[in-house]
Each structure stands twice: as C-alpha cells, then as structure tokens.
Amino acid sequence: MSGIYTAAAAPNIALVKYWGRRDDSDLNLPYNSSVSVTLHQDTVKTVTSVALDPRIKRDAIYVDGKLQDSTRSDEKVRLILGVVRDMKSMGNSEDGVLVVSRNNFPAGSGLASSASGGAALVFALNEALSLHLDDTSLSVLARRISGSACRSIFGGFVRWKRGTSPGGEDSYAEQIAPPSHWKLIDVIGIVSASRKKVSSSAGHLITPRTSTLYRSRLELAERNAESAIRAIEEKDFERLAEITMADSNNMHATMLDSWPPIKYMNEKSWRVVDAVHEMNSRYGKSVAAYTFDAGPNAHVITTPKYEREVEDVVGDALGEGARVLASRIGNSPKLIGRKDSLIDDSLKPLQI
C-alpha cells in the first residue's frame, strides 16, 4: 500500500492542567485528569503529511524543514517513531514512512506544537494505513507522543480522564461540548521564543518526585476538573475563570516547589497576571482568565464582548514589540487535499 496523506490539527490550551506522570514508562500516563479547549486552525495549526512507500528505506521525520535526528537520543523523536512503528504493524505494513510537519505558529513563538503535531500525525497515519481507528484509539496513540496531544484529537471542550490501567487503555480524551457550545476566545501573548531549560517531559517526572505540595495538587486538580466541566456545561464564565487561574497558579507553585526548582513564568508573564486581576477588579467580576503552560507565554481566556480590551490589556502588559494573537475555539483534526501536501510525488519533502 502506498500513498501520501495530509492532516491539520490545532494545539489545545488546558484550563485544568496535566502536570506529572505516574510512571516513567513511554506511555505518558498522567497523575491527574485535565480539561482543555482546542484552538482554531485558522489561527494556529500543524500540517503533517505522511508518505508510506516501499521505496522509503528508513523512517524519517522533518519538522519545520529540519530532519529530526533519530540516532540521537532525542526522546520526542523516539516516541514518535515508536507510535509510527506500532501503527504500521497494526496495518501489516513494512513500507518506509516519511513524515513532514509544519507549524503555522509565528516563527519562534514558543507555542507548544507537540500536541497539534502528535494529533495530526496519528490522524494522517490512520488514513494512510486504512486503519479505521476511532477517536478514542487515536487519542491513546497521540497521548504516547505527547500527553496533551490526546486532547487535540477532539474539537471544542475536552476532558482527559487520567484512567487507572497500567497499560493506559483507559487514559484518553473525550469531548465535553462542541466549539459551538460557547464562543470563548484565547488571547495569546507571546512573551518569549527561547527554548525552555527543563523540558515538560523531564518536569513531569521531577515534580511528583520532589514537590511536597504535589500530593495536595492531585486532589485539587481532580476537583478542579469536575468543577470546570460543570462551569462549561452551565456556561458560567466567572466560575470557569476562577478555576482556570487558580489551577495554573497551583501547577506553577508545584513546579517552583520541585527540586531543583522549575521556573517557566517570567517577569512579563507576571505582568499579564497583574493586568488581568486589575481588569477583573475594574469590572467587579472575572471577565478574563490567564493560564500558563510550561513556558512564559500568556493565554487569556475571555468572551467575545471583552476580546478587544483583553488584547489591549495583554499588549500593554507585555510592552513594545509584543505579539498578541486571538484564537476562537476550533475543531478536531481534518484531512486536507493533495495540493497542500508537504511531500511531492517523488517522495521528497517540500521546503515551503
């Protein structure tokens, strides 16, 4: 079987965060459940083409024009190749695979691409190998590339249930509500393009092992996930905003409490925190909610009514040269046509 298939997927932003793996297997099994919104492919997306062909002698992955070195002990590449190998064996294929992936995020934005990249890859491979896997199985496979990727298999509002099985069969994401349920906006303030000092995969192991606060985070995060889902179902923005901000603060507190301490937020991130609290107190209620992943970039969730003002508040807080993007909530990954393929008919990556 041979063919070239291309899929697009969007990153997601967690409102209740996943931080901490319960073992050091390659399965990315979380200690706690998490809740996210999938962003819109019009604003942020990863496009991934896969080619399966007997002429390809060695599986290879290109990301943003660069060949990823599979001989180095790069953990991400190893995880991706492991999932590719398992999906090929499900499809009884011995063909070589070429993967070419491109992010449309602004150059060096520091936005996480592993979630959208992982989701787009398993989605495209499912087609290329005619596996006909359902979304739950795709979510389990995407999780092995990057935990948060399991949530990008779904559009709208998404929950990832931690599960309890050692093999991870019950640790996958599911949709809570479609994007049309509630028109929220994520205003993204790009603070830094520099690479993080501690990768999230290392941090997921360091914090549970060393932070004395971590045990209490687990109970809180599980409760936050339940409350966030109720707030989403009831479209209770104030409640969702408060859970979102508190959960981000709590996760970053356990990071700082790790040994050695892990610090992802910087001065500029904190300026956004202050500015959002100021805006909320001006309105006498929470109209915006910040959340930060394993990096300094700010995500501020709001409703369309306050979108412009939040963009200004974030832009002013970050100062000169700040980049601010706004994303609606978007859909699940989709297949895209041949004309947007990143691989040409002679099986060469297209450097576009």
Q: Which two tokens stand for residue 175?
A: 């949709």
Residue 17 or 45 having the CB closest to ligand PMV: 17
Residue 79 or 343 having the CB closest to ligand PMV: 79
Residue 130 or 199 having the CB closest to ligand PMV: 199
Q: How far is the CB of 225 from ligand PMV (least distance, A)?
A: 11
Residue 198 or 347 having the CB closest to ligand PMV: 198
Rounded to whole angstroms, how far apart are CA atoms 68 and 88?
20
Helix (H, G, I), strand (E, B) or coil at 35: strand
Q: How far is the CB of 64 from ligand PMV (least distance, A)?
A: 17
Rounded to whole angstroms, how far apart are CA atoms 177 and 190?
28
Residue 98 or 190 having the CB closest to ligand PMV: 190
Per-residue CA distances from 210 to 20, 94, 204, 254, 258 (Å) = 11, 43, 11, 9, 5
Q: How far is the CB of 149 from ligand PMV (least distance, A)?
A: 6
Helix (H, G, I), strand (E, B) or coil at 102: strand
Residue 136 or 201 having the CB closest to ligand PMV: 201
Q: Please, are residues 274 and 263 in contact by the beta-carbon 8 Å criterion?
A: no
Residue 244 or 341 having the CB closest to ligand PMV: 244
- Which of 90, 7, 99 lies closest to 53 in space, CA to CA? 99
Q: How far is the CB of 99 from ligand PMV (least distance, A)?
A: 19
Q: How far is the CB of 148 from ligand PMV (least distance, A)?
A: 3
Q: How far is the CB of 75 from ligand PMV (least distance, A)?
A: 10
β-pairing verdict for 96-103 and 46-53: antiparallel
- Per-residue 3-state assignment (H helix, E strand, C coil) for 138-163: HHHHHHHHCHHHHHHHCCCEEEECCC
Contacts to ligand PMV by CB under 6 A: 14, 17-19, 34, 112, 114, 146-148, 200-201, 204, 293-294
Residue 81 or 112 having the CB closest to ligand PMV: 112
Q: How far is the CB of 258 from ligand PMV (least distance, A)?
A: 13
Name the one residue in this structure whose structure tokens are 């599986």.
59
Q: How far is the CB of 205 from ligand PMV (least distance, A)?
A: 11
Question: What number of other Cβ atoms are within 10 A of residue 189's Cβ?
Answer: 26
Rounded to whole angstroms, how far apart are CA atoms 113 and 37?
15
Residues 6+ apart with CB under 8 A from 156: 37, 38, 175, 176, 177, 178, 179, 180, 181, 329, 331
How would you class 222 by CB atoms within 10 Å of its CB: exposed for 0-12, middle for 13-18, buried for 19 or more?
middle
Q: How far is the CB of 186 from ligand PMV (least distance, A)?
A: 13
Residue 19 or 31 having the CB closest to ligand PMV: 19
Rounded to whole angstroms, how far apart are CA atoms 340 and 45?
14
